[in-house]
Structure 1
Amino acid sequence: MSADALDELTIHEFAVPANLESDGGDDFVEMVAMRNEVETEILGNDDTNPTPRELLPFYQDPFAPKRLFLARVSGRIIGRGVYEWQPEDGATAAFLEVEVAAPFRRQGVGTSLLRVLEASAAADGLRVLQSWSLHLPTASDDVLVPPTGFGAIERGSAAVRFAQAHGYRLEQVGRMSRIDLPVDPDILAAKRADAAAHATGYEVVQWVGRCPDKWLTDMALVHQRMSTDAPSAALEFAEEDWDEERMRNLDDMNEAGGRVNLTSAALHVASGRLVGFTDIALPEHEGRPASQEDTLVLKEHRGHRLGMLLKVANLELLMRVSPVTPRITTFNAEENRPMLDVNEAVGFVPTAYEAGWKKTV
C-alpha cells in the first residue's frame, strides 16, 4: 500500500444491518467477502466460508454481543476487527479478531484495528484479551508449543509474529479436521453397535431443525456445561447462562441464516433426561461442506462410549438427510484426546490448526 493510500485509511465502527436489504447490507456483504478471501488464502480452501446470510444473525446475537470495526481505503473494505464479550456477570475476557486483506498487510492496518479493539475492552473494564489465528500444518522444526504440551504452530508465521509483537502468549492449539462423505455405512453400523453395547441404559434421540419444546430445558443445561467442561487450557471463559429463551434464540439464528442443525442426543432412560449431544450444521446452500458444531457428554455420564454413539448416529442422520453433502469440518482442542480418538476412529483427518492467544493487561 502506498503512503498516499495509507493516508486515506479510515477505521470506523460499523452498524450491523437489520437485514441484507437494509442500509449497510451491501457493506456487510463486502465485509464477508473480504473475510472469506483471507481465510481461503490461509487454509487453501473455502470449506468454512459462510454466506452473508449465514453470518449476519451471529452479529445480532444478544447472548454473544459483538461490535464490528471496518478499515477502509478509498471506500473499499480492506480489514475488519471484531470485538466480542460475554454479558454474564463476572466475565473478565474480551474476544478479539483482526483480519486484513493480503495487499494491505504489514502497513500498520492490523495494528490500528487491534488498538481500537483493545481500547474498547479497556473502556469496558475487561483486562483479559483473547484471540485466535489459523495455521496450516508445518514441516518446520522451529515451532511454538503451548503450555498444555499439545499441538504446535510454526514460530515464524505472520500470525505468530503479529501476536507476539503485541504481547500475546500462546495458550492452546486446536485441531481443524475434515471427513469426506459418504462414510462406508457398514463401518458406521459396526461402530454404532460396539458403542451401543457399552451404553446400556441410554438411548439416542434425534431431530432435524429446531429443538423440540420437550427437550429445551435439558439442551440448555448441556449447552451451559459446554462453557465449563470443554478443554480451554489457560484461556478464560465465564460460565454461560443458558435457558429455554437462549435455546430458541439459537434456533432462530440458524433459521434466519438458512442453516439446518442435525442433532443427536443421549437420553438417560432412568431419569428421562438428556445427558449429552452432538450437532452438525448444514449450510444455506446444498452441496456445501457441513460444520460439526458442539459435542458434549455430561461428566457424570462419561465412560459409556456415548461420544462415539452420538457421533456415529449423527453421521448416519446427515447422510440420510443430505446425501449431497461432500464433507464435514470440525475443531477440537489438541489436548482433548478422548474426542479426537472418536473423530479419528470414524475417519476425520487433521487439515489445519487454530492457535489460542491471551494477553492480560
Structure 2
Amino acid sequence: MTIQFHLEETSIDELAIPSTLDSVDGRAFVEMTELRNTIEREVLGTGDTESTPRELLSAFSDRFAPKRLFLARANGRIIARGVYEWQPEEDAPAAFLELQVVKGARGRGVGAAMLDVLEAAAVSDGLTVFQAWSSHVLPVSADVLSPPTGFGAIERNSPAARFALAHGYRLEQVDRISRIDLPIDRALLEQRRRDAQAHAADYAVVQWVGRCPDEWLADMARMHQRMSTDAPAAAIEFAEEQWDETRMRNLDDRNEAGGRVNLTSAALHIPSHRLVGYSDIALPEQEGSPAIQEDTLVLKEHRGHRLGMLLKVANLEQLMAVSPKTPRITTFNAEENRPMLNVNEAVGFVATGCEAAWKKTL
C-alpha cells in the first residue's frame, strides 16, 4: 500500500520476521527496535522497558504467540511500526494490536493508515475483537479517563488516549507500572520473609536459574495455563492458553535465544509435593540493565497463606545474589489487583507510570 502525505511518499509494508539480525530484513528489524525504544523513552521518561533486537526477535519468533510486523517508511526511513498478534488456540476471540509512530510523523494520518492495515489483517483471519495497550505517565491533571473497573486512570488528553478514542476503542483496564531500586534493605526482606513463612507452614520455596528442571515441567505448565485465566483482565478477552512440557521448553528456548536469564522461585505444597505458585524475574541480555518482574501467580486454592509475599521476597533475594549489578526492577500489575500491589508496596516498589488496555469490537 502507498499513501501520500504532504508530498512525501509513505509506504506501509509487511516485514517478514527475519531468521537472523545479519540479513537485510534483520537490519530493518534492528531499526524498528530502535524506534520502539525511542518512543518508550519519550513516553515514560526512562529506558526501563527497552528491549535489545535479539530479545525482541526471540519474542517475534515464538510459535505459541504468532505475530506479523508492518513498517511505515518515508524517504527510506522507518517512521512507524505495527504489530498484529493472535492466539493459536482454537476459538481465540481477539487480535492484539501494537502501534507506534515517531514524533515527527504524528498527526498526518500515518497512525490511522497503519491501524487500518492491522485491523484488516485481523478481520481477514476472522477476528473482530481488537485489543491494544499504550504506555502513559502518571496523571497530573484532573481531566482523566477511568476504566469500568473503577481502578486507575490515564490523562484523557494524552496522544494515545485521543487516538484510541477517535478510532472507536474503549478503555477497559489500567495497569500500574512500578519500579524498585536495588539493592533492597536485607533486614526488610528478612522481616517480610519471616512474616510470610509464619502463615505458610505447609509450603517450601524451590528456586532455579535458567531452564526449568525436568521435575517441575508439568507443574509449571499447569500454572502458566492458569495464569492465562486467573490474572485480573477486566473485559479484555483471552482464550485459555494450552500449556504442556513442550511449551515450557519453548519458553526456555525463547529466553536463551534472546539472551535473557529467567530467575524462578516456586511454592512447593509439601503434603502433595506439587508446585502451587511461582514468581519469575527476567534478567535482560545486557548486564547492568533493569530487570523485568514477569508473572507472579498463586493458584486460587492455595491463596491466603502469604505465598505471594514469600515468593516475591525469595526471588528478590535470588536476584541480588545472582546479578548484583542489576540496578532496578520494573513490573506491571492491574490496578484492581490490590493483593499483589500490597506485596509490591510492602517491599518498596513505587509507581512510575501506567499502561492502558483498549478494546474495540466490530
TM-score by length of 2: 0.98
1:210 alignment partner in structure 2: 211
In structure 2, distance between residues paired with 1:278 and 1:103: 40
1:12 alignment partner in structure 2: 13
Is the Cα–Cα contact under 8 Å of residues 5 and 108 in structure 2 kept in the other structure? no
Amino acid aligned to 1:213? D
Kindly state the Cα deviation for residue 21 of structure 1 after the two structures are TM-superposed. Answer: 1.7
Is the Cα–Cα contact under 8 Å of residues 209 and 264 in structure 2 kept in the other structure? yes
Q: Kindly indicate whether residue 252 of structure 2 is the aligned counterpart of residue 254 of structure 1.
A: no
Is the Cα–Cα contact under 8 Å of residues 43 and 137 in structure 2 kept in the other structure? yes
In structure 1, distance between residues paired with 2:282 and 2:324: 14
Structure 1, unaligned runs of 5 or more: none
Q: Kindly indicate whether residue 351 of structure 2 is the aligned counterpart of residue 347 of structure 1.
A: no
In structure 1, distance between residues paired with 2:277 and 2:42: 36
Amino acid aligned to 1:189? E
| C-alpha RMSD over aligned residues | 0.9
1:128 alignment partner in structure 2: 129
2:329 alignment partner in structure 1: 328
Among all aligned residue pairs of Structure 1 and Structure 2, give the percentage whose two residues are the same amino acid.
70
Residue deviations 1:253-275, cap 9 Å, x none? Answer: 11011100000000001111100
TM-score by length of 1: 0.98
In structure 2, distance between residues paired with 1:127 and 1:54: 30
SS in 2 for 1:24: helix
Q: Kindly indicate whether residue 95 of structure 2 is the aligned counterpart of residue 94 of structure 1.
A: yes
SS in 1 for 2:27: helix
Kindly state the Cα deviation for residue 27 of structure 1 after the two structures are TM-superposed. Answer: 0.6
In structure 2, distance between residues paired with 1:330 and 1:262: 14
Kindly state the Cα deviation for residue 19 of structure 1 after the two structures are TM-superposed. Answer: 1.2
Count of aligned residue pairs for this structure pair: 359
In structure 1, distance between residues paired with 2:143 and 2:186: 41
Kindly state the Cα deviation for residue 2 of structure 1 after the two structures are TM-superposed. Answer: 6.6
SS in 2 for 1:250: helix
In structure 2, distance between residues paired with 1:9 and 1:199: 59
SS in 2 for 1:231: coil
2:156 alignment partner in structure 1: 155
Amino acid aligned to 1:182? P
Amino acid aligned to 2:86? W
Q: Kindly indicate whether residue 73 of structure 2 is the aligned counterpart of residue 72 of structure 1.
A: yes
Kindly state the Cα deviation for residue 22 of structure 1 after the two structures are TM-superposed. Answer: 2.7
Q: Where do residues 178-327 of structure 1 align in structure 2 (5 Å cutoff)?
A: 178-327=179-328
In structure 1, distance between residues paired with 2:38 and 2:267: 39
In structure 2, distance between residues paired with 1:161 and 1:139: 17
1:46 alignment partner in structure 2: 47
Residue deviations 1:291-315, cap 9 Å, x none? Answer: 0000000000000000000000000
Is the Cα–Cα contact under 8 Å of residues 204 and 269 in structure 2 kept in the other structure? yes
Residue deviations 1:195-248, cap 9 Å, x none? Answer: 011001100000000000110100001000010000000010000000111100
In structure 1, distance between residues paired with 2:168 and 2:266: 41
Structure 2, unaligned runs of 5 or more: none
In structure 2, distance between residues paired with 1:288 and 1:317: 17
Q: Kindly indicate whether residue 6 of structure 2 is the aligned counterpart of residue 3 of structure 1.
A: yes
SS in 1 for 2:295: strand
